[in-house]
Amino acid sequence: MIRIIDKGSFGEVWLGRIQSVEVAVKIPLVAACREDFIREAQKMHAIWHAQLVQFLGVCTKPQEESVLVITEYMPNGALNKHLQTEEGRNLQQIDLLFIMDQVANGTVYLESIKLVHRDLRAANVFVAKDGRVKVGDFGQSKMLSMPSSCPADLKTPIRWSSPEALINGKEVTSKSDVWQYGILWYEVFSYGDVPYEKYSRRGH
Three-state DSSP at 2 gives coil
Q: Which residues lie across from 135 on neighbouring strands?
A: 52, 125
> Distance between CA atoms of 103 and 194, rounded to whole angstroms?
18
> Distance between CA atoms of 186 and 191, rounded to whole angstroms?
8
Q: List all residues 6 or more positions away from 3 whose beta carbon is below 8 Å from its beta carbon.
A: 14, 15
Q: Is there a catalytic annotation at residue 101?
A: no
Q: What are phi and psi of 132, to 5 degrees?
A: -65, 155
Q: How many CB atoms lie within 10 A of CB 156?
A: 21
Choose, from 6, 95, 119, 130, the residue flagged as catalytic: 119
Q: List all residues 6 or more positions away from 161 whose beta carbon is below 8 Å from its beta carbon.
A: 155, 203, 204
- DSSP letter assigned to residue 9: S
Residues taking part in catalysis: 119
